[in-house]
Structure formats: structure tokens, C-alpha cells
Amino acid sequence: MAGVMGDAVRRAGLGCAVLALATAVLSACGGSSPSAAPPRPPSSAPTVTDSADEGAAAGDAGDPGADASDLAKLAEEAARQGGKPTSDIAPRDGEVLGGDVSWPQCPPGTGIPEKQGLGMPMPLPEAEYVVLGLTNGPGFTPNPCLADQVAWVKDNDVLVAVYAVSSYPSPATLEEYGADGPFDASDRLGRLRNVGYQQARYNIGTMGQVGLLSPIVWIDIEPVPKFDWSSDLQANAAVIEGVARGYTDAGFAIGVYSTPALYRRVVGDLSLGGVPEWRAAGQTSRAEALNRCGPDWSIQGGPAVMGQWVEQQRDQNLTCPGIAADLGRWFHRFT
């Protein structure tokens, strides 16, 4: 689940396209009880190697696993072709309900030590889409049950998109990836941009490994508990600049997930050119999530696509006015 909501959901819970192409070559809460969740929640062991060190995940950046580099290339090629869904998605009227999930929905005991799965419930039966988290908290750590969550998407025939948490590198990670990318590595900001670029490449590889396609990648920009951003907003912004370019160079559209206050706290007045926005409201209500679609809650000047709120152990999401007319721009459907 997206991070702003993830901590809130944990408090509530503890206290209350690519698949076809790959075949050719061979990713905080609702109004009912958890028992109302659709069938087949993720239950298997991690599909990729877990690591407590954000700079020591399996494989090179963008290549987590033996066959992932080929799959990542296929994912990129599909994205360059427009990230189109494999079947038509009918336009809707009004707002459309969905959810988002990530490592907190994984079985207890899975994931890195700092971000263990909590067995949280999957989206409500009426959810028409889900946004899958690609990371296990910080960058270079894959969601340990992403393959099962992709299977859940297919089994329940819901639309899908992806998001990924970005984070500040450790000294070891900066050393490992700082010279690897399109930015000038002769200064610290350039090296930080390269690390961000490789975080994005890694996440593209993670998508490729499980045959997951999304027309957009939502960049989660907020404080990351236990993996703090630096106090230098310019340095933090450099990481995000690299992340953004990593996705767009691969052909993916990008958007921002955050709140105005948390965004400014991490990257100050960084402009990403007014990319689309997914806006968090916290433990409030559907009405407040819809209110976040308004101009008063702009994060960096982009159009509002979804509002999110937390209720009864789930992240719930609502499309903003007008978005439902072209859901294929924002979501993929498996066939």
C-alpha cells in the first residue's frame, strides 16, 4: 500500500501487453469487515531474494533475477508502444472505487526485517482496480509477494497499475550505483540522480519478472520510516529527478503519490512538470478523498487522478471527476 496510508493502516490493523510477450520468449481501507475481501489473498513465500540492505538486493538494478532483464526489456517495449491495456476498458460515469496494496498484505514473516508482512486484507469485492506496490519499503527491495498479488488481480479480474516508494541511498548504495546512469557522476547531485535512476530501473525489472504491465508508475514521495531522507532537500530532489527519468526513459508515464506537506518536507519546491497526482487523505472518509481532487490539494501542479483514504484496515481509492471516462490511460487489464 502507498506509504502515507501504510503506516496509518498498520496502526489501524495493530490497534483496530507484458504477460503475452513474455510467454513468447520463455507490484491503507474499506467499509466492510476483512472477511468481505475477495478470495485468494497472497499466501506464498517471497519470489525474490529478501535483503535488509537496500543496496544489496538480488541482481543488478533493473535486473532482479535470472530472466528479469529480458522481461524488463519487454515491459519497456510495451510501455514505449503506449502502455495500452490488452483489452478495451469501457468508460465509466462518476467515480470508480479501487484499492492499493503492497508488502503489508504479505504473510507475516515475509520481507526485510524492517518491513515484515502483516497479512492485511486485500481490497473490497466492489473494488474495480488495484495499485500494486513494487517495493518492500525502500528502493532496491522488491515486494516479496508481488507475484501472488498479480495472480489475485487476474483471478478477480480487476484493473491494475503500480507504484513504488523512493528512498535516500545508504553510503554503500551511493557507492555502488552513483556512477551508473545518464547523469554526471563528477558531483554528488549527479551521483544521487544516478541512484534514483537505478531505483527506477530495478522496479522495471521487478515488473518484468512477474509479467506486470502498467501504463503509469506512481512515484511515492514521502518520509520512509527507518529509511530516512536526508535533511538536504536539494539532495533528496536529485534522487527523485533520477527516479522520474528512469521511468520516462523506459517509456512509462509517471505520476506522484503524496500530500502537499509531505512532498515539500522531502523535496521542497521540486517541479516534475505538473505530472498527474494521486492524493492521500489519511484516516478520513470517501468524501474527504474526493475533496482532495480539488485545487486546494495540488502537490506539484498536476491533474488529480485519484484520492485515497484509510478505513477499517484498507487503503481505498476513488477516481477523481472525469478520470473514469478513460480508465485505460491509467490502468491495465489482463486478458
pLDDT digits (tens, 9 = 90+) for 138-183: 999 999 999 999 999 999 999 999 999 999 999 999 999 999 999 9
Give me 233's grid cell.
532537500
Nearby residues of 292 by Cβ (< 8 Å), 6 or more positions away: 279, 280, 281, 304, 307, 308
Name the residue type at position 78. A
> pLDDT per residue over 264-305, tens digit each?
999 999 999 999 999 999 999 999 999 999 999 999 999 999
* Residue 40 pLDDT > 50: no
Which residue segment(s) compose the domain that 212 sits in? Answer: 3-329
pLDDT score, position 21:
32
Q: Residues 211, 217, 219, CA angle at the centre, nearest 5°?
A: 135
The tally of domains found in the chain comes to: 1
- pLDDT (0 to 100) of residue 175: 97
In a domain, 313, yes or no: yes
Q: Which pLDDT belongs to residue 2?
A: 76
Whether the predicted pLDDT of 88 surpasses 70: yes
Q: Distance from CA of residue 256 to its chain's centroid?
A: 10
State how far the Cα of 238 lies from the Cα of 229, in Å rounded to an integer. 12
Conformational region of residue 238, where left means phi above 0, alpha means psi within -120 to 50, and beta covers everything else = alpha
State how far the Cα of 149 lies from the Cα of 16, in Å rounded to an integer.
Answer: 24
Asked if 176 and 233 count as a contact pair (C-beta separation under 8 A), the reply is: no
Assigned domain for 335 exists? no
2: left (phi over 0), alpha (psi -120 to 50) or beta: beta
Query: pLDDT grade, residue 325 (50/70/90)?
Result: very high
Residue 335 is predicted with a pLDDT of 83
284 assigned to some structural domain:
yes
* Contact in structure between 213 and 334 (CB atoms under 8 Å): no
Q: What is the Cα–Cα distance from 270 to 222, expressed in whole angstroms?
A: 13
Q: Please give the grid coordinates belonging to residue 85.
A: 491495456
Alpha carbon dihedral 256, 262, 267, 269, in 10-degree steps, equals 90
* Type of residue at 304: A
Q: Specify if 179 maps to a domain.
A: yes
Residue 102, C-beta contacts closer than 8 angstroms, at least 6 positions apart: 1, 2, 6, 27, 132, 133, 134, 135, 136, 143, 163
Distance between CA atoms of 310 and 30, rounded to whole angstroms? 7
User: What CATH number is attached to the domain comprising 18?
Assistant: 3.20.20.80
82 — pLDDT class (breaks 50, 70, 90) = low
Residue pLDDT, tens place only, 100-132: 999 999 999 999 999 999 999 999 999 999 999
For residues 239 and 189, is the Cβ–Cβ distance under 8 A? no
pLDDT of residue 75: 67
Residue 334 lies in a domain: no
Q: What pTM does this model have?
A: 0.82
Assess if residue 92 is contained within a domain: yes
Q: Provide the pLDDT confidence category of residue 87 given band limits of 50, 70 and 90.
A: low
Q: Which residue has the higher pLDDT, 82 or 115?
A: 115
With respect to residue 302, please indicate whether it lies within any of the assigned structural domains: yes
Report the DSSP beta bridge partners of residue 161.
131
Q: Enumerate residues 6+ apart whose C-beta is below 8 A from 150.
A: 27, 132, 160, 210, 211, 212
> 289: helix, coil or strand?
helix
Q: Are 193 and 236 in contact (CB under 8 A)?
A: no
Query: Distance (Å, rounded) from C-alpha 313 to C-alpha 300?
Result: 29
214 part of a folded domain: yes
More confident residue, 26 or 61: 61
Residues facing residue 256 across a β-bridge: 219, 277
